[in-house]
Structure 1
């Protein structure tokens, strides 16, 4: 299964439906003209002299927002030419605008299959899947678009928008600035996207400047820009500035639900919990849809949790997951995850690993420190601590290992996929390429801004990098690997209460989060038995109980002198962009230790999955 397929929800016709029945996707077309259409035989060209008039009427109706008429004209055109690009595009626009997302998805997929070399089709597909949260598919279409139209500014803006949602902010900035260099307009969309790319890199003052420019040049009301800017200020704990921006947005769009959501978040951060609930109650009464509805439930859960109303919090988190899943269509790709783990364990064996080639050291460049651990296990806390030291710069979540894995077969000239492609390194003319792979990683780290002058190290905190500890060890056998360990019940509860997309969408349910935790923990234990890694387990609870002792131990392991300033990690000016961004701006606290106890009755279904790991990781009666 590819990344694109893992993102893809399953759309199927109703069992036993006739070809004349209305298609289950909701397009309004019959099955034979929609999801059961034979694309190899479908007519792309009109035969009637009135076809052009039909298309013109469709376009005019859509422009005038007469969507019922536009849909009627699109249906008429598609009955004559079911594969006509503009007719499909017209119906896609109507379905998208009327909230028929399944139909819009079916249509945009059909257009991409029929017209893979059409830049406009690829642009529509990239933007659709970006909006839906199917990041893998959005990126694939965006890349195809840039290849098809490398000198079109709109192609680069689209690629920048996609890279923003995949957290590849340096690449996003590259494309957005390229769009401007090509003569594209310095409009609100481009400048606003540039602001988001700059924020993602931690360049907050430049991001503020870009937001200000975007708002200034907006030809139409731009509340979404003000809301995004307000979100930046909230994350930076500049609450008054955030509130002022939300006030400006509300003056332009009084009923925009994102404004109410932003106000609720601000109230929670200010510990005005009842005010937050009142705002969320009013928002829920208005019936928000899609992503806002999901995020409002997540915010409600966080407020209830802070108030100690844990049963209500869990119900809110459950509703958040249900709404988020309905919006994205994501489900845990359990079979794919299990297959990957099996392949890795079968390849990295005690018999094979001694014979796998390792890269040599590079003493002329900063080297990576890999901070690994299941999401919500304390990796951000440790990275903020490490990067408070003058010898260590912050790489944050570097996507390089995953990208390298995608490219390995072609780089090594292998017909097989990773990890089997690594056997090419045993062939004489490939033997030196392990060093080349190491250098690709280091060059990408430099390009992404992970290094800085004077620093000997940089961090790589990509979630679930521990899945690929085998490759990491081959590339950097001397690099420190810091493994965060936290009580499994706490980890799974925290993953469930946050919107994470890593790990084959394992966070879509409590059970899938627990299953992926167990799968990953088992793989890590396997690596530890077959590889001589430079590996250190750091227990989150020990960090909380005795911060200085654990931090000294951490720096002894890395080989850097202890600096007492690192204990004040909360003063690290580098912004964290993970779900724990607010926590790491505070001094170390213990209220997140054994938080699962407050939710014990709700976690009963996953305890059998996690119990073996609770024991193996050394959490006994004290935590239970």
Structure 2
């Protein structure tokens, strides 16, 4: 019995020794595995060590030549599936890698390395929800500490208060435990405490600069916090260590798109698609980037490739419709209707399909059927939103009360003297992209995008209340002195610098909702220009109603809500016209269409710019355009859109009622306040 045990023990010892060598000397590990195979034949563990050794030494084909037959012969071996998945990933066979990694975690859920690799692939595929879940499982299974494991399980099961209590208790005893700090950061993200998460992850990296999973989380947190320059620096650090990591490359492409560097982002997406050619979501992201960069034909081709892979991908159908230049065929419409009729269709896909079919029927002049699809799409979208029109009305009333002539007079001379920004405000679909395209065709003006920086500043101001309590940011603004307001202006200029690609002295911030923050803009950037884009209320509101926005604009999914929002907007702008006479220049879309040159000259005069003929040939401007009007502003102005809403007039009663005197008075402004 003892004699028989000897060879077995020797084999186990040799295999264990070869496995340990993988971390320090993969070549020697491979040599030992080869010797074991010569002695005992194709032992699964020895083959696994040999395959990993070859992968570690960069011999990916050699590794796959061993690991693929091994995984086939050992279908229940989680480690064989894991190592095959990693090797396939290195071989740029992303879809096959994901399949192997999914098999690995199904066989053995507590494999942190498999979850991390799977998360990276899902991140590359633009599956943010799936990636987040995989990364959460990586955190969950990365620890063997019983208390941390309990906290990870609580976090995984959404028992947030319990997870937070366990983590804080653990960190009291072990304040430098980076795994616990990273878990607490994940918890903060789930609670919406993004700034806390950012600080925690920065602390992680102070303690453990090589903690790459935490660095990736940190880059994501910075990206979501509108800090693209810092996010990009963290991604570059990760890519310096692992240049072929698909998740890192995708994140870099996303950040590059955020800052307007589309051509290098397109190169990254094209390379990622070589790894994941059968993934519909990446083709869609590629299409989005191509569209924004002005490559419309290539964008359409990318969207069509996505639909070949997933005919029920509602967002892609809507993306085609949203180009405003694509006309769907009868076959397209039949496919969309067939997908919509499928039981179990996800709500998100259903929403997009309703809007896309609405657009297809609109183009076919079937307006009543078109309206019904738009209505169903809006109803579905509104069900998942928390918008309340009364909250906006109260918000406007608070601004009107606080930002008076006297208030501004008392703070004259505050803020930064920089004249660089030109803010274009108003409602979406009011012609702001057209104004931006005209202005950015001037040699002294650069068009950027809808910059989120003002929103970021207001969010931070809200958190500056007593004891960190969230409060209306206007209350905080009222307490700020001249120096603090100047610093806010300088901060805005610093944080938007990355969006500026030319030496033009002026740049455009086209975030329409900034009309709610004109008071803040005046205080921190008193020399900035503010242009209000206004369009007939029925044309503007219905155009917004039939638009499925990628994010935000929650007021657009009900005719009543959007009508009340438009009325609130008109009231607030009338207030600022009174409190800051001449401060805001208004452009009526209909006037711009009827007499373009006169309106362009007035606009340039307001901005202090000499007239340039290029502003009348704005449609020749090849810059990237990120809004729903991207293709329309690449063509000369046309009148057809001015009265298009009349095709839907029979069904706009709720909108007309919500608009009330604002509709009757247009383009003049009624007496405020209105009874609403």
Q: Same fold (TM over 0.5)?
A: yes
**Higher-helix-fraction structure:** 2
Match of 2:563 among 500, 507, 514: 514
- Kindly state the Cα deviation for residue 542 of structure 1 after the two structures are TM-superposed: 0.7
Q: CA deviation at 1:389?
A: 0.6
Residue 406 of structure 1 is aligned with which of 445, 459, 476?
Answer: 459
Question: What's 1:85 paired with?
Answer: 151
Q: 1:541 aligns with which of 581, 590, 597?
A: 590
Cα deviation, residue 258, structure 1:
5.7
Counterparts of 1:501 and 1:260, CA distance in 2 = 12
2:182 is aligned, of 119, 125, 129, to 119
Provide TM-score, normalisation by structure 1: 0.72
User: How many angstroms does 1:483 deviate by?
Assistant: 0.8
Instruction: Assess, with a 3 A threshold, how the Cα gap between structure 1 residues 177 and 357 changes in structure 2: closer, same or farther.
Output: farther
Q: How many residues align?
A: 519
Post-superposition Cα deviations, 1:539-598, rounded to whole Å, max 9, x if no partner, equal: 001111111111111111111111111122222211211122222222211222133222
* Contact 1:337–1:504 (CA under 8 A) maintained in structure 2: no
Q: Decide which of 300, 321, 332 is 2:378's aligned counterpart.
A: 321
Paired residues of 1:261 and 1:292 also in contact (CA < 8 A): no
Is the 1:267–1:275 Cα contact (8 Å) retained in structure 2? no
Residue in 2 aligned with 1:434? 485
Distance 1:592 1:276 in 2: 24
Which residue of 2 is the match for residue 452 of structure 1?
502
Pick from 388, 398, 401: which aligns with 1:346? 401
CA separation in 2, counterparts of 1:410 and 1:258?
38
SS of residue paired to 2:413: coil
Q: CA deviation at 1:460?
A: 1.3
In the other structure, the counterpart of 2:339 is 283
> Aligned pair in 2 of structure 1 residues 155, 378: CA closer, same or farther (>3 Å)?
farther
Are residues 1:529 and 2:587 paired? no
- 2:533 alignment partner, one of 471, 484, 487: 484
Relative distance call for 1:61 and 1:392 in structure 2 (3 A) is: closer
Partner of 2:60: none
Q: Which residue of 2 aligns with 1:358?
A: 413
Indicate yes or no: 2:272 matched with 1:209: no
Q: Is the 8 A contact 1:496 1:507 kept in 2?
A: yes
Q: Structure 2 vs 1, CA of residues 461 and 312 (structure 1 numbering), >3 Å: closer, same or farther?
A: same
Q: Which runs of 5+ in 1 are unaligned?
A: 1-55, 65-73, 75-80, 93-105, 130-135
1:193 and 2:246 matched = no
Q: Deviations over 1:89-116 (max 9, x none)?
A: 55x4xxxxxxxxxxxxx65687568757
Instruction: Output aligned runs, 1:237-386, within 5 Å.
Output: 238=295, 240-242=297-299, 244-245=301-302, 253=309, 257=313, 261=317, 265=321, 269-287=325-343, 288-326=345-383, 329-359=384-414, 362=417, 367-386=420-439
Q: List runs of 5+ in structure 2 lacking aligned partners.
A: 1-105, 116-139, 141-146, 169-179, 670-676
Over 3 Å counting, the alpha-carbon distance change for 1:178 and 1:442 in structure 2 is same
Match of 1:614 among 641, 646, 663: 663
Distance 2:492 2:323 in 1: 42
Of 446, 470, 476, which aligns to 1:421?
Answer: 476
Q: What do the CA deviations read for 1:333-355 (whole angstroms, capped 9, x no partner)?
A: 44543333232222112333321
Q: 1:224 aligns to what?
A: 281
Contact 1:397 1:461 in 2 (8 A): yes
Q: Which residue of 2 aligns with 1:590?
A: 639
- Hey, what's the Cα distance between the residues in 1 that align with 2:165 and 2:567? 38
Larger Rg: 2
Give the stretch that moved more between structures: 235-244 or 270-279. Answer: 235-244
